[in-house]
Amino acid sequence: MRTSIVRDLRSLLVVFTTSLCLVVFLVNIGLTQPTQNSANQGITFNDAHFHLTNYIQKGIRIEDFLKLMGDKVDRVAVFGIPLHQKWDYFVDGNRSPDYYLLSDTELYYYSLVDAMIAQEYLRLTPDKQKHFDPMITGFNPTDMYATAHILRVLRLFPGVFTGIGEFTIHKEFVSDKVGGHTASLTNPSLDRVFSMAGEIGLVTLIHCDIDTVRPTPGDRPAYFDKLKQLFKRHPETSIIWAHTGLGRIVAPRSNHLDLLEEILDDPEMNNVVFDISWDEVAKWVVKSPETAQSWARLINGYPNRFLFGTDAVAPKDSVSYLKTYQDYKPLWNLLDKDALFKVTVGNYRRVFDEAAAKVRVWEKAKLQESEARLDLPNADLIPKTVLLPQYQSS
Ligand SMILES: [Zn+2]
């Protein structure tokens, strides 16, 4: 009898000790296992859309920008602005314009911007470089030689660039100010750029307004269907559509989110994600509790397809740099935990890590032989479908 009581007490003790160890173990796991938040050590967001320089190619040194990022921002897709605002003395006199809305004179493509971005990046120690994904922007998307520019930049600065963009096709107040041929979604030169980006693995950040400034009559915005066709012609290219096509004046129609869903639901466009950068876009999204709720519903439903970006242009201080993020607070409050993490941090890593890895592989294998392709004399990168019928046979 006595021995059985002792035995029972012993087994109880064993059970108790084992449970205690288990509890201590679980508590330890809780403390040491990286959760989504602790793994990011206080990181608030990654920035998929950032301009280091402005419309007259002036900006902030990348070292100083790192200070603005602080411990809030981990990674940034960094680029200049491909267009330069001309200072025409006969029009503007001594009033030197540094923004496209400050002058009636033209914008022109400024390809040196890519070298400027590469140099800034290369000045950083490898430890600091890890925070940036530089992008090539200084090409004219209406020029059949745009692809040659991209190749040339990759050859001059191997190991630097992750993608191309932000480049602009249709943009309120900007498109018609650009000298030369107006960019369009049906220009074969654009297809060559998308094809080459797909082949190399460069992530492609395109700005194209969904509509004209005054909404086009009818239920389809002016540029939406042509843009979808472009996306569909390039399933191999990783595409980010900036601002979901919205702008300062180009407002979301009542069916804007349904239009986005046409892309999200189409398996032929799984390669397309949206950035919700720019405070001018945030203003539409958080315009009212209802608009914020509709956007949150869409993003919660497709959490892998949206990326946050600031669209800050050469910010002077951290308040102006963080403005877009702050503006979005009402949206952040409505996203579920998984979607919030993906939109602000996780999707950036997926899209840009994938692109960087592909580009490095391509550079190793193909960069040397790309010299011969610099002139790209033939049209082999143009899908026949975009050519006018009279050119389709040649
Ligand atoms: Zn931008």
In angstroms, what is the span from residue 279 Cα to ligand 1's centroid? 11
In angstroms, what is the span from residue 52 Cα to ligand 1's centroid? 10
Determine, yes or no, domain membership for 331: yes
pLDDT at 385: 57
Same domain for 107 and 217, yes or no, is yes
Same domain for 27 and 74, yes or no, is no
Which tops the pLDDT comparison, 288 or 99?
288
For residue range 246-273, list pLDDT tens digits in order.
Answer: 999 999 999 999 999 999 999 999 999 9
Q: Is the pLDDT at 353 greater than 50, yes or no? A: yes
pLDDT at 25: 39
CA 230, 235, 236, 239 dihedral sign is: positive
Q: What residues have CB less than 8 Å from 295, skipping those under 6 apart?
A: 257, 285, 331
In angstroms, what is the span from residue 253 Cα to ligand 1's centroid? 21
Q: Is the pLDDT at 155 greater than 90, yes or no? A: yes
Same domain for 321 and 276, yes or no, is yes
Same domain for 78 and 140, yes or no, is yes
In angstroms, what is the span from residue 311 Cα to ligand 1's centroid? 5
Q: How large is the C-alpha radius of gyration of the chain?
A: 25
Q: Is the pLDDT at 136 greater than 60, yes or no? A: yes
* Domain count along the chain: 2
- Most confident stretch, 144-158, 164-178, 263-277: 263-277
* Structural element, H or E, at residue 73: strand 73-79
In angstroms, what is the span from residue 51 Cα to ligand 1's centroid? 7
Q: How far apart are CA 84 and CA 87, in angstroms?
A: 9
Determine, yes or no, domain membership for 41: no
In angstroms, what is the span from residue 320 Cα to ligand 1's centroid? 15
CA–CA distance from 62 to each of 120, 124, 128, 133, 314 (Å)?
Answer: 6, 8, 10, 12, 10
In angstroms, what is the span from residue 285 Cα to ligand 1's centroid? 17
Q: Is the pLDDT at 210 greater than 50, yes or no? A: yes
In angstroms, what is the span from residue 232 Cα to ligand 1's centroid? 23
Determine, yes or no, domain membership for 62: yes
- CATH code of 187's domain: 3.20.20.140
Same domain for 253 and 339, yes or no, is yes
Task: Work out the average pLDDT over 320-345.
Answer: 97
Same domain for 139 and 246, yes or no, is yes
Task: Supply the pTM of this predicted model.
Answer: 0.85
In angstroms, what is the span from residue 186 Cα to ligand 1's centroid? 22
CA–CA distance from 153 to each of 53, 115, 146, 369 (Å)?
Answer: 18, 8, 11, 15
Q: Is the pLDDT at 236 greater than 70, yes or no? A: yes
Between 63-67, 173-177, 348-352, 383-387, the lowest mean confidence (pLDDT) is in 383-387
CA 284, 287, 288, 289 dihedral sign is: positive
pLDDT at 386: 58
Same domain for 84 and 114, yes or no, is yes
Which tops the pLDDT comparison, 134 or 219?
134
Same domain for 25 and 173, yes or no, is no
Q: How far apart are CA 30 and CA 119, in angstroms?
A: 44
Domain of 311 in residue numbering reads as 46-389
Determine, yes or no, domain membership for 38: no
Task: Identify the band that residue 372 occupies on the pLDDT scale cut at 50, 70 and 90.
Answer: low
Q: Is the pLDDT at 29 greater than 60, yes or no? A: no
In angstroms, what is the span from residue 17 Cα to ligand 1's centroid? 60
Task: Work out the average pLDDT over 141-150.
Answer: 92
Same domain for 249 and 344, yes or no, is yes
Residue with tokens 């059949």: 144
In angstroms, what is the span from residue 336 Cα to ligand 1's centroid? 27
Determine, yes or no, domain membership for 39: no
Determine, yes or no, domain membership for 362: yes
Determine, yes or no, domain membership for 40: no
In angstroms, what is the span from residue 166 Cα to ligand 1's centroid? 6
Q: Is the pLDDT at 384 greater than 90, yes or no? A: no
Same domain for 99 and 221, yes or no, is yes
In angstroms, what is the span from residue 214 Cα to ligand 1's centroid? 21
In angstroms, what is the span from residue 194 Cα to ligand 1's centroid? 19
In angstroms, what is the span from residue 233 Cα to ligand 1's centroid? 24
For residue range 33-89, list pLDDT tens digits in order.
Answer: 333 443 445 679 999 999 999 988 899 999 999 999 999 999 999 999 999 998 999
In angstroms, what is the span from residue 50 Cα to ligand 1's centroid? 7
Same domain for 159 and 212, yes or no, is yes
Same domain for 275 and 181, yes or no, is yes
For residue range 282-302, list pLDDT tens digits in order.
Answer: 999 999 999 999 999 999 999
Q: How far apart are CA 140 and CA 354, in angstroms?
A: 26
Determine, yes or no, domain membership for 394: no
